[in-house]
Amino acid sequence: MEGIRPKRQSILIGQRSLDVYGEQNQGPKFVIWIIDKFRKWGFFITRWPWTAIIICLIISGLSMVKILLTPQRNEITGYTPYGARAKDEFQEYQDFFSAQGLPVAPYLFVVAKDNGSMIRPEYMREAVEILNYAMNNITMLNRITGQNESFNHFCDSFCQLNEPIRQFYNGYVILSEPGAEPTSRIKLSYPISSVLGRKFSLQ
């Protein structure tokens, strides 16, 4: 008399799968709960495959619509992990420039064409003219008000960073006038100068 052979649920199921079905769930309660949910989800997919496909397509479609409707932003800290030292340094940089968001610090470098000294009347005069042009004629569109604003208007901090150059030039012009005598009220030196009792750095 032949022994009774166990019934197989599917001709595609293997011995390893039968062994897994026969194992008892072991481990932390959370792991057991996750395994149970995945098992039920697997049974749901095998029983209603097209329903599962439609659900996935709906979720993917909604996600795609959300991506298309979300405005793109250039966030330089978006991929920086929490607690990274770079974030602390970036915060210090923002605090130093008294700015929020993305602080932008433009600089204007002026050098003589002959690679000589800039402390010459004609060169300093042109440098001050360039500075005045940049402060008053370079504009940027303010999307809130819809108006073009000059650098003097949209600049938030460190706007007078190049003001010492102007003061140095004014003091130089005064001392260069015919008959002008040295005075204690105007002291032109590097890196610290003084005009009318006000000291400023040229560095």
Report the pLDDT averaged over residues 43-51: 90
Q: Pairing mode, if any, of strands 147-150 and 198-201?
A: unpaired
Look at residue 79 and tell me if it is in a domain.
no
Per-residue confidence (pLDDT) for residue 22, from 0 to 100: 54
Domain count, the chain: 1
The encoded tokens of residue 77 equal 């800290």
Look at residue 157 and tell me if it is in a domain.
yes
Look at residue 56 and tell me if it is in a domain.
no
Domain limits at 160?
Answer: 121-201
Look at residue 128 and tell me if it is in a domain.
yes
Q: How far is Cα 134 from Cα 140, in angstroms, rounded to an integer?
A: 12
Higher pLDDT, 155 or 24: 155
Higher pLDDT, 23 or 41: 41
Phi, psi angle pair for 198, to nearest 5° = -105, 120
* pLDDT, tens only, 100-131: 556 666 777 888 888 888 888 888 889 888 88
Look at residue 172 and tell me if it is in a domain.
yes
Look at residue 74 and tell me if it is in a domain.
no
Look at residue 67 and tell me if it is in a domain.
no
Look at residue 175 and tell me if it is in a domain.
yes
Report the pLDDT averaged over residues 34-44: 88
Strands in 198-201's sheet, in edge-to-edge order, are: 186-187, 192-195, 198-201
CA-wise closest residue to 196 among 165, 159, 168: 168
* pLDDT, tens only, 55-75: 999 999 999 999 999 887 766
